[in-house]
Amino acid sequence: MAYAMTCSCGHTMSVEAASRDEGVTKMKAMMTEAALAQHIKDYHKPGEPTPTLAQAHAQIEQNLREA
């Protein structure tokens, strides 16, 4: 199954997983400090508040849905 979430910037990220819990785990593993920094650089406007990694992981837990 595919699970996805849309960031506040409008970028949609997705992952393949057998369950939502597995999807959350996989997405959080993909969203490292380096990946978060790259995402902010690529998709967010300069000067926008940057979430911490813990905040990004909380958003994944809250917003990941079956696609």
- What is the full per-residue pLDDT of the chain (67 aa) written as tens digits? 999 999 989 999 999 999 999 999 999 999 999 999 999 999 999 999 899 999 999 999 999 999 9
Cα-only R_g, the chain: 12
> Structural domain boundaries of the chain?
2-66
**Cα(54)–Cα(56) distance, rounded to whole angstroms?**
5
User: Tell me, what's the pLDDT at 64?
Assistant: 98
Residue 3: closest CA among 14, 19, 12: 14
pLDDT of residue 1: 97
